[in-house]
Amino acid sequence: MSLPVLGPLIAAAVMLFLRRLSAQRFVSFMTLGVSLVASATTFVNIWDDGVIRVVRMSGWPGSFAITLVADRLAATMVLVATIVVTIVLAYATGQRAPDERSSFYHPVYMVMTAGISQAFLAGDLFNLFVAFEILLMASYVLLTLEGTNEQVRAGTTYVVLNILESMVLLMAIGLVFAATGTVSMAELPARLAELPDGVRMGLQLLLLVAFGIKAAVFPLFFWLPDSYPTAPSSVSAVFAGLLTKVGVYCLIRTQTLLFPGELGNVVIVIGAATMLVGVLGAISHRDMKRILSFQIVSSIGYMLFGLGIGGSAAIAATIFYLIHHIPVKTSLFLVEGIVARDSGSSSPDVVSGMARRSPILAVLFLVPALSLAGLPPFSGFLAKFAIVRAGVVDAQWVGIVVALVVSLLTLVSMVKIWVGVFWGDVEPAAKVSTVGVLRHQRLMGVSTGMIVALSLAIAVAAGPLYEFATLAAEQLLDVAGYVNAVRSA
Amino acid sequence: MTFIRSAILDELVDRWLSKVAALVALYVTFRGHNAPGGGFAGGLVLGGVFVLQFLTGREPHLRHRPIRRPTMLLGAGLLMALGTTAVPLFVDAAPLESHIWKPDIPVIGEVKVVSSMFFDLGVFMVVVAVVLMMLLSLGARGSSLVGDDGGEVS
């Protein structure tokens, strides 16, 4: 179980000795293959029996050890993350972008993978903080690897904001430790419950702020649409698909394990505001990558809305949304990368008529785009339907109205991209006007296709998956079960 | 940037300070198991030596051989630390679990050796390597100091 964390780190160390790009690529894919097998095994085992797996690093007793805990949600997230990371790396290899050719790209990419896995598996708050630092350090490098002016400018905001987030998180963890004497997530629920209400609420708010910055939640979302578009497409695809999800995942943990059901209304209000602000940003922009980045913010709002409602149905809907959103968002950024590589830009001022030049690419865009907007029969429809249904049960009428309006506006922003980039006549300045766009970029096309296929598979297998999400949600809400599993391990 | 280049400083740093500090660094590293210290602190002490060498206007060097490719050191340190983490997995122990030997060495007496020492040494190497990389890439005058490795912050 510790393989998805340890493997990529060891690979990163080995790659520092390899100077040849092909050797680095080989090591990367081998490692990811091994992690894939390992995380799939853990996932299948947990799917079968639902028993929480615990690994205690260093063999120390009790909460002194570094614990890795895999419950249903964590195992699923690690598996999905590993799949997405692998496919995007294949895409980056096919893209032959300058950043992938740097001798530091592959090691840093591996470090980021390890950080993401560790964040999902962390069994104590401090370990979680370390995981965050690992993936953030790696993301700083990946974001600015090409070193263009724009990247450095946006990178500065990104680094400053994330250091701020780390400080808040570290402070919160310090205060939690001061108040309870432990940072182990298995010991905390009982100890936190003994604290006075004011202290507990203060700690919860601090943690929410810290994870909220990471998840790009209103009003701390502004760094995301500013920095993600400047990164190379493959990098921003992973960032968009996974990094903010790590923040959401931590919010889910905070709200279900540490402070079950508290401040739910605050989370709902923040969620609704996040949806709205994100989508307004999306429809007010023209650039494809910026629209896509703002849509991430609005999607995070949906997850918060579900999380705030609470209860197993709403949490299950949130988990389903979380899982569906990863491949959908990633594939949209990958399509953008193909467009940008072909035409030198993805701005509708420069590109148009993509659908005529490459119908396949248009389909690859259309499927995740409609899914994100929440149109049936795609996975996004099911995810949004589940969240809205949970809202109806809980009588959150304002939130539901916001969610539906935002869904419509998301479609509007997608139509903007569609009309600008894919419809219309082929721009006269196009270098290749007759040959298909994808013919030159096979590997990129195939890997994008694989992610789109993954999101379609989620829609097809929605029944069993939703059942699994319900089981995962019930496991999340069963705090005593988590505590006992970790204690007895 | 002008560097303080004086014979006395050179002499002081190169002949005396760096050697003493290197010893201190090793001492700090090895006492780290049961007392304050350890690989991180030790690495910082040795890193401080390289910073001093740099401030006297030279490249960081060991025995007058300039160090140009700290990436290798970084990799080696990481491998060592991660190796210590992973090896217990093969002997049915928890990752990172430490084994303790207490060999009896003549004259010195009983010595306590722990396998987590290798982890500490790994951390030591990583810290030194990171200090060197910062010096070589941020402090380079022109590209000659950076060598063929210094692209990481481009």
- Out of B74, B82, B94, whose CB is closest to A58? B94
What kind and span of H or E run contains B62? strand B61-62
> For residues B32 and B41, what is the distance between their CA atoms, to the nearest angstrom?
9
B14–chain A nearest CA distance, Å: 30
Percentages helix, strand, coil for chain A, rounded to the nearest 5? Answer: 80, 5, 20
pLDDT exceeds cutoff 70 at B150:
no
Q: Tell me: pLDDT of B144 over 50.
A: no
pLDDT digits (tens, 9 = 90+) for A304-315: 999 998 888 999
Q: Do B79 and A57 touch (CB under 8 A)?
A: no
> What confidence tens digit (pLDDT) does each residue in A134-163 have?
999 999 988 888 878 888 888 898 999 899
- Give the per-residue pLDDT at A17: 86
Model confidence pLDDT, tens digit, residues B30-80 = 887 777 778 888 999 988 888 888 877 777 776 667 677 788 888 889 888
CB B41 within 8 A of CB B82: no
Tell me the count of A-B CB pairs closer than 8 A: 61
Question: So what's the pLDDT on residue A359?
Answer: 83
ipTM over 0.95: no
User: Would the CB atoms of A17 and B96 count as touching at under 8 Å?
Assistant: no
Number of domains in chain A: 1
Using CB atoms within 10 Å of the CB of residue A199, give its burial: 0 to 12 exposed, 13 to 18 middle, 19+ buried. Answer: middle
What is the rounded CA–CA span in Å between residue A120 and residue A253?
Answer: 10
Tens digit of each residue's pLDDT (9 = 90 or more) over B75-97: 889 888 888 888 777 777 777 77
The C-alpha atoms of residue A480 and residue B133 are separated, in whole angstroms, by: 48
Low-confidence ranges of chain A (pLDDT < 70): 62-63, 427-437
Could you tell me which residues come within 8 angstroms of residue A224 by beta carbon, excluding any fewer than 6 positions away? Answer: A216, A244, A293, A296, A297
Phi (first) and psi of residue A69, to 5 degrees: -120, 125
d(CA A318, CA A310): 9
State the Cα torsion A400-A402-A405-A406 to the nearest 10°: -110
Going A210 to A211 to A214 to A218, the CA torsion angle's sign is negative
Q: According to the model, what pLDDT value does residue B141 have? A: 54
Cβ separation A103–B96 shorter than 8 A:
no
Domain of A145 in residue numbering reads as 3-488
Q: Which of B69, B71, B72 to mutate to test the interface with A (most CBs of A within 10 A)?
A: B71
Q: Is the pLDDT of residue B148 over 70?
A: no
Sign of CA pseudo-dihedral A463, A466, A470, A472:
positive
Q: Using a CB-CB distance cutoff of 8 angstroms, which residues of chain B are in contact with residue A59?
A: 88, 93-94, 96-97
pLDDT at B123 over 80: yes
Token reading at B42: 């030790």
Q: Where are the beta strands (DSSP E) in A33-102?
A: 53-57, 66-70
Q: What mean pLDDT do residues B115-125 have?
A: 86
User: Which of A2, A14, A16, A144 best tests the B interface by mutation, with the highest count of B CBs <10 A?
Assistant: A16
Give chain A positions within 8 Å (CB) of B94. Answer: 55-59, 65
Q: By percentage, how much of chain B surpasses pLDDT 70? A: 79
Residues of B with CB under 8 A from a CB of A: 71-72, 74-75, 78-79, 82-83, 85-86, 88-89, 93-98, 149, 151-154
Model confidence at B149, pLDDT cuts 50, 70, 90, reads: very low
pLDDT at A356: 79
Cross-chain CB nearest to A57 (options B82, B95, B149): B95
Domain boundaries in chain B? 7-138
